Amino acid sequence: MPMTTRYRQLITRPQIAVMVGAYDALSAHLIEQAGFDLAFVHDFGVSAGMLGMPDMGLVTLTEMTSAIANVVKAVDIPVVADGGCGFGNALNTFRTVREYEAAGAAGINLEDQVYPKRCGHLAGKQVVEPGEMLDKLQAAIDARRDPDFVITARVDSLAIHGLDDAIRRANLYARAGADMIFVEAPTSVEEVGRIINEVEAPSWVNLVEGGKTPLIPIPELQDMGAALVDYGPLVLFAASAAIRRALAVLKRDGTTEGHLSELMAFSELNQLNGIDRYRAMEARYGVNAAKRETEPA
C-alpha cells in the first residue's frame, strides 16, 4: 500500500493518529522502533538539528527536501513533511509540493503565515490575507500527482486575530479542498475543543512541551474527536537533554565509565541502523572476501 494511502487511512479512521517529529534518519528509526505509525519532518527540528538555528524561516526548500528524503528512505512508515509557507508565493508552493511528493512524503502542511515564517509558538508571527492562502492551497492541490497525498492547511491567526477568525479561516481552507486543518497554538482545552467541533474537516492538534497549548492526554484528544496529534520537537528535546548530560559527565569526570547505563550501546545502535542487513549484503556480493586481511566480523 502506498504511504500516502496509509496516511490518509490513519487520519480518517475513528482512532486518533499519533505522529512524532523526526529531525533526521536516526530519530526516525527510533520513532518507528517505538511503534508509532507516523513520522513528521518539521522545520523546527531541521533548523535546529542541521543548522543549529531557530525556526525563523532560515531553512531552505533544498535543505528540507534533503532531510525528508533521508527520513523516507530510513523507515517503513508514512513521513509527513512541514511545508511552512510553501517557501514563497503560490508558484513556490506548487514547486514545494512537487519536490516533497517526489522525495516520498505522504503529505504536507502549509500555513498562512507571511514568508519567511517562524515557529507557531514564538511571538511576532504575521499572517497573510485568507485569499492569498486560498491561492496557495489551489496551487498545492494542482501540484499533487497522487490524489492520496494529504494536504493540511495550518492556521496561524489565532494569536493575532483570535479564535473566531482562526475558525473562520480554517473553514474557508477546508471548503477549498484542504484534507485536514491544523490550527496552531490554542491556549486552552476549551479552545482545542471548539476547533475540533467547529472546523469542517479533520483536526490536527500540535503539542509542544513548553509551548502555548496544554499537553492534553491522547485519550482525551481521542474523546474530543481529534484526527491527529503530533509531538513535533519531543525527540529533539529529549536527545538534546541527554547529550548535554553525557557531555557534562565527561567534562566533570574525565571518563564516561559511570554513565554507560544512560547511553545506547554500540551494538544496539548498529542494530538500529540495520547492520545485519548490510552484513548479509557483504556476504552476498563478496565484499571483503577476495584475498584481503580483515578482523573477525
pLDDT at residue 175 in the model? 98
**All structural domains of the chain with their residue ranges:** 3-232, 240-285
Residue 120: the pLDDT is: 82
pLDDT score, position 294: 59
Taking residues 212-223, report their average pLDDT.
97
Query: Domain 3-232 belongs to what topology?
Result: TIM Barrel (3.20.20)
Residue type, 219: P
Please check whether residue 107 is in contact with residue 4, taking contact to mean a CB–CB distance below 8 angstroms: yes
Over the stretch 44-89, which tens digit does the pLDDT of each residue have? Answer: 999 999 999 999 999 999 999 999 999 999 999 999 999 999 999 9
Residue 155 host element (H or E): strand 150-155
Higher pLDDT, 294 or 199: 199
Please answer whether residues 189 and 226 qualify as being in contact, where contact means their C-beta atoms are separated by less than 8 angstroms.
no
DSSP annotation of 258 reads: G
pLDDT digits (tens, 9 = 90+) for 82-99: 999 999 999 999 999 999
* The pairing of beta strand 150-155 with beta strand 180-183: parallel
pTM over 0.85: yes
Query: Which of 171, 162, 166 lies closest to 183 in space, CA to CA?
Result: 166
Cis amide bond preceding 116, omega within 30: yes
Which residues share a beta bridge with 231? 20
Of 237, 192, 202, give the one whose Cα is nearest residue 42. Answer: 237
